Homo-oligomer: A and B are copies of this chain.
Amino acid sequence: MTSAGGRPGGTAPRSVDVARLAGVSQKTVSRVLNGERYVSDDVRRRVLDAAGELGYRLNSAARALASGRTRSIGVVTLGTALYGPASLLIGVERAARDAGYALRVVNTLEGDPGGVVGAVESLLEQGVDGIVVSEPIDEGAVSLSVDVPVLVLGAPVTFGGTRTVATGVGAELLARTATEHLLDLGHATVHHLAGPERWFAARDRTEGWRSALTARGRERPAVLAGDWSAASGYEAGRTLAADGDVTAVFAANDDMAIGVIRALTEAGRRVPDDVSVVGFDDIPVAAYVTPPLTTVRQPFDAVAREGLRLLVRAIEKPDAEPAPANDPPVELVVRASTAPPPTR
């Protein structure tokens, strides 16, 4: 419920109007509304009452112009409804709001040349106090020097610019854990279905898979390339099904894993009896597909919150040391899509 704010003339009330009604100066209104100290309780109450009565709302454009800060954070995100990016966005929004920042969002479409640069440019024009780049893909070396702090979510720091922080680089470890799970089950080696190579997130996972195999001196099969979609998983699955030696597959996300399982099943190869499959993300349906999917859980919310904490710190205490990121916990969720290899 919002009172209509009935100032004569139909325009929105300004802080002078509140001041007049409360019988104080305009600056005092500003003080109260910004929670500054040195205001008597009596005055504070009168101001608040007057503001309420008028239906007064701060004008953030004026505030931004005068203070040089917008109290807003810009987010550059891929325009996909994928579970990971969507979850990160939610986490970021919530953490930003808790910290008192509004969110401005710009999507970059995959394949859009200059996408990230253009997006950042537009956020800068909007005057954001900080920028979050979520799940970046690379499109050539992005070197934009930006005068606000930047948080890169899900990738190592590669952006130029002095004030950059990063979190969520733990995916490599998660991927390694997934691969080791399969190896521990007795599989001789593990095939890998990767995401698009331009995504850092995809390369991270491939790296984790590779290092697990290398550490145990296992043969490293050629990597299959998908595009995160179940459809691409299905395609890859058909290839995999044709190769009788395949007993274990690590897919870089759950959607692709589901596609792989479908293709395997159609080809008459049972999961997990003949072939084990593990996914990545733990999307909400993962526990309910057939067979329930063994996967690795990404703590999206924790990653987003932690990242935003660092970003806000960088915004508000520009001189403080860049605090190190606390890497989030690893969690492997074992369900029914993995088992020991068939004995023959």
Cβ of A16 to closest chain B Cβ, rounded Å: 15
Is the beta-carbon distance between B146 and A285 smaller than 8 angstroms?
no
- Beta-carbon contact of B65 and A70 below 8 Å: no
A109 to B98: give the CA distance in the assembly, Å: 13
Q: What separation, in Å, do the CA atoms of A231 and B288 have in the docked complex?
A: 8
Digit string of A113-149 for contact with B (CB within 8 Å is 1, else 0)?
Answer: 0000100011011110000000000000001111100
Provide the residues of chain B in CB contact with A13, threshold 8 Å.
Answer: none
For the complex, what is the distance from the CA of A12 to the CA of B64, rounded to whole Å?
15
Contacts of A126 in B (CB 8 A): 60, 72, 102
For A12, A90, A255, which residue has the most chain B Cβ atoms within 10 angstroms?
Answer: A90
In the complex, whether A320 has a CB less than 8 A from a CB of chain B is no
Partner of A106, one of B64, B103, B121: B103
Knowing A93-B105, A103-B105 touch, does A258 contact B229 (C-beta < 8 A)? no
Contact assessment for B58 and A61 in the assembled complex, using a CB-CB cutoff below 8 Å: no
Does A157 sit at the interface, judged by CB under 8 A? no
Would you call A230 an interface residue if the criterion is a C-beta within 8 Å of the partner chain's C-beta atoms?
yes
A237 — nearest CB in chain B belongs to which residue? B288
Q: Is A284 an interface residue (CB 8 A)?
A: yes
Q: Are B290 and A290 in contact (CB under 8 A)?
A: yes
Closest Cβ neighbor of A234 among chain B residues: B288
Whether A80 lies near B70 (C-beta < 8 A) is no
Task: Return the contact of A81 from the options B1, B59, B83 (Cβ within 8 A).
Answer: B83
- Tell me whether A323 is interfacial, beta carbon within 8 Å: no
List 9 extra interface pairs beyond A93-B107, A102-B106, CB under 8 A: A2-B121, A2-B145, A60-B127, A62-B65, A231-B284, A255-B285, A258-B285, A259-B285, A285-B285
